[in-house]
Amino acid sequence: MQTARLTTSESLALDVIRVVAAALVAFGHLTQFRFSTGWPDLTYVARCAVSVFFILSGFVIRYVTCRKPATFKHYLGDRASRIYSITLPAFLFTLIADTISRHVNPGFYAAAVGVFAHPLSAIAVNLIFCGQLWTHTIQPLSNGPFWSVNYEVAYYILYGCWFYLTGIKRWFWIIAISAFFGPHVLYLAPLWIVGCILHDLYQRWNAPGVSAAGPAWLTFATLAALAAFCLKVLAIQRSGQSVSSTPMLRIAFIAGVRPPDYLFGLVWAVIFLALLFFARQFVIKPDSPLVGALHFISEGTFPIYLLHFPLFVLIAACIPYNHANPLPKLIIFFFTLVIGILAGHPGNILKAKLRSLNFFSAPQTTASPQRTES
């Protein structure tokens, strides 16, 4: 399939979605009782916002690989350098921050995070992305949000096998890797695949001479129907009915559907497409100050995601702020966003250095795909 380059305005729309999702994750975790009182616990919002990242990631990876197929080795090197350029510094920060938190306020740390017999082992297991195999969860100290990165890496590998391999080899590795990671990781894979599908649909709708109105409305209606199904399943679950008593629950159980994740993800898929269509109507110069500012901010999305929780724990353990007062909590929230944004550029420098290594070798990318990188 021929993939047209995204316009500057479309790339900006992706940046905005990425930043909003990261902010929702951070804010949702800040409302937990460990860090806040007086606000409702919005942890479920943080969890559901991860669905946005899965859809966005599927869209962007599909875009980048179609624009720049390269080789399987280069693809893996590109993904590895991207992940490790933020993961390595984030884990180092987590280790240092948790050590300080545990010594300054051991009671708070034990209650908020837990006690790790082998903290370095927990970090090491997650460095090879095996922290979520089957039904086992090994958390890298206070960096609980890293669970989704384990999922993400599994989807990268599975997609790479599907895209670059052929014949029996393709399906052998897809089955083997799926069996290795287990159903726990694969439950949310459909959301990632939805992102790939949305990319292909969006490209076809915007091809010269193609009318997108009919297919677009059909897609919106399909996504809305699936979201309604998830909402109904969620309502039935909360009513306390057993799986065997309702066909809808049986279908959801067999499919591994997690209603809040899928509901939020599918609703955002509609918003995602609508924003892209809306952004496409505008022409923005690539050298516009707005483009540079939003691109700089969006580079901090991944650091925000991986740094915010250890930073929240560190602050709460060391600074006796009033958990009921909104002002210090908002200061902590925006401070965390700023730290993440400022960490984005050094992360890009480390990414370039990792790509210069033989193991992480990857071809140079053009400006546009780089700006939409997940």
pLDDT in tens, 173-196: 999 999 999 888 888 898 899 999
| Residue pLDDT, tens place only, 20-52 | 999 999 999 999 999 999 999 988 888 888 888
| Environment class of 339 (CB within 10 Å of its CB; exposed 0-12, middle 13-18, buried 19+) | middle
Give the pLDDT confidence score for residue 219 in this predicted structure. 64
Q: What is the DSSP string of 271-289?
A: HHHHHHHHHHT----TT-H
Asked if 170 and 162 touch (Cβ cutoff 8 Å), the reply is yes
- Using CA atoms, how far apart are residues 272 and 15, in angstroms rounded to an integer? 11
Q: In 3D, which of 156, 159, 195 has the Cα closest to residue 56?
A: 195
Q: Nearest Cα to 68, choosing from 316, 370, 346, 271? A: 370
Neighbour count for residue 371 (Cβ, 10 Å): 21
User: What pLDDT score was predicted for residue 117?
Assistant: 75
Question: Of 330, 341, 252, 264, nearest to 304 (Cα)?
Answer: 341
Nearest to 70 by CA among 160, 8, 156: 160
Please determine, for residue 254, whether its predicted confidence score (pLDDT) is greater than 60.
no
H helix intervals, 105-188: 106-112, 119-127, 147-164, 167-181, 183-186
pLDDT of residue 365: 44
DSSP state of 146: G
In a domain, 334, yes or no: yes
Confidence (pLDDT) at 231: 63
In whole angstroms, what is the distance from residue 64 CA to residue 237 CA?
A: 39
Element (H, E) at 189: helix 189-205
Nearest alpha-carbon partner for 311 in 84, 124, 34: 34
331: part of which helix (H) or strand (E)? helix 326-355
- Over 70: is that where the pLDDT of 14 sits? yes
289-316 pLDDT, tens digit per residue, is 888 898 999 999 999 999 999 999 999 9
CB neighbour list of residue 231: distance below 8 Å, 6 or more residues apart: 259, 263
Indicate the number of domains in the chain. 1
The reported pLDDT for the residue numbered 358 is: 62
* Residue % of the chain over a pLDDT of 90: 51
Mean predicted lDDT score pLDDT of the chain: 84
Per-residue pLDDT averaged across 255-275, rounded? 73
Say which residues have a Cβ less than 8 Å from residue 262's Cβ, sequence separation at least 6: 51, 190, 191, 226, 227, 230
| pLDDT tens track for 125-184 | 999 999 999 878 899 999 999 999 999 999 999 999 999 999 999 999 999 999 999 888
Question: Taking a C-beta distance cutoff of 8 angstroms, is the pair 194, 228 a contact?
Answer: no
User: Cβ(231)–Cβ(267) under 8 Å?
Assistant: no
Q: What angle (nearest 5°) sits at the alpha carbon of residue 226, between those of residues 225 and 227? A: 90
Q: Is residue 318 part of a domain?
A: yes
What local confidence, expressed as pLDDT, does residue 192 receive?
A: 93
Q: Is residue 373 part of a domain?
A: no
pLDDT-based confidence at residue 79 (cuts at 50, 70, 90): very high
Say if residue 237's pLDDT is above 60: no
Distance between CA atoms of residues 158 and 344, nearest Å: 27
Q: Give, in order, the Cα–Cα distances in Å from 270 to each of 204, 250, 275.
A: 17, 26, 9
Residue 374 lies in a domain: no
DSSP state of 265: H
CB 52 within 8 A of CB 21: yes
Residue 372 counted as domain residue:
no
The 10s digit of each residue's pLDDT in 347-372 is 988 888 888 876 555 544 443 334 55
Contact 301, 22 (CB under 8 A): yes
pLDDT of residue 188: 86
Q: Which residue has the tokens 């306390």?
A: 240
Residue 139 domain boundaries:
8-364
Lowest mean pLDDT among 201-215, 228-242, 312-326, 330-344: 228-242
Instruction: Say if residue 53's pLDDT is above 80.
Output: yes
Query: For residue 280, what pLDDT is reported?
Result: 86
150 in a structural domain: yes
Quote the pLDDT of residue 18. Answer: 92
In a domain? residue 369: no
Q: Residues 6 or more apart from 339 whose CB is under 8 A from it?
A: 303, 304, 307, 311
CA distance 335 to 314: 13
Give the residue-averaged pLDDT of 242-255. 52
In whole angstroms, what is the distance from residue 337 CA to residue 303 CA? 9
- Per-residue pLDDT at 48: 81
**Residue 370 within any structural domain of the chain:** no
Which range (151-160, 222-231, 245-254, 303-312) has the least confidence? 245-254
pLDDT band with cut points at 50, 70 and 90 for residue 223: low
pLDDT, residue 224, reads: 67
